[in-house]
Amino acid sequence: MDNPKIIEYRDIRVLTTQQIAEAYGTDAQVITNNYNRNKDRYVEGKHFICLIGEEKSEFIKKNQNDFSSFTKAKAIYLWTEKGAFLHAKSLNTDVAWEVYDRLVDSYFQKPQKRLTDREMMRIQLEMYDEHEERITHLENTMNLDYGQQQALKNAVNKKVVAVLGGKKSNAYHEIGKKVFAECNHDIQDFFEVNSRSNIPRLRYQEAIDYVNGWEPSNNTRIAIRDRNAQMNIGGEMDGV
């Protein structure tokens, strides 16, 4: 059996009642009767398309050579692949099932259009752009590596120790932990992370610059000054 003449509606391949009847070795009235007896199983838009009014007129106009005889018909029924399956099931003959399988493979499945060189190039460029976007996304979301984490830790230690007045200062021994905590809190708050290690890798240099320019709060500066002033007074008294 040769494939029926291709009929499409809104880019979907369909068959008329007459085409299904001829393909399945029966007549159109049998197909119509089977539909009427099993209407509850057929869903419009899924198993068939019913064209009436303007839709029917437009369809006939586009397919004048094949549907001019349908002008006076109240409606045109077009059967989808799923509709063709239900009709084969209703007939339940070897011919109907054999033809249905063939229709699925060679009629309803539209052949893939061969792409032009320009279309192939466009697809390749789109794939390249998507690949670049994925790489950029990964770069933007990857956290600091171990080496960067250690370097940032060293920068924090150096900065906080300097702010405290050195490791031998009273401030270092008395409120050093508090000042380290304040520095880390400010870093996390600025970069909107819950840990220094979660800072995006792309913002590593920004994090180093932030630490190098970091200063404690005014209250903390006063506390550091007061602690270290006690050390100076004690030293002067020891020398008296």
In angstroms, how far apart are the furthest CA atoms of the chain? 125
How far apart are alpha carbons 162 and 159 in whole angstroms? Answer: 5
Res 113 pLDDT > 80? no
Give the pLDDT score at 218.
Answer: 95
The mean pLDDT value for 18-24 works out to: 93
Q: Is residue 68's pLDDT more than 70?
A: no
Mean per-residue pLDDT, 71-78:
87
- State mean pLDDT over 210-228: 95
Q: Is 201 exposed, middle or buried (0-12, 13-18, 19+ CB in 10 A)?
A: middle
Q: Which residue has the tokens 């009709």?
A: 87
Q: Predicted confidence band at 105 (pLDDT cuts at 50, 70, 90)?
A: confident
Which of these, 43, 2, 49, lies nearest to 22 by C-alpha position? 2
Q: Once rounded to an integer, what is the mean pLDDT over residues 124-148?
A: 80
In this predicted structure, what is the pLDDT of residue 231? 66
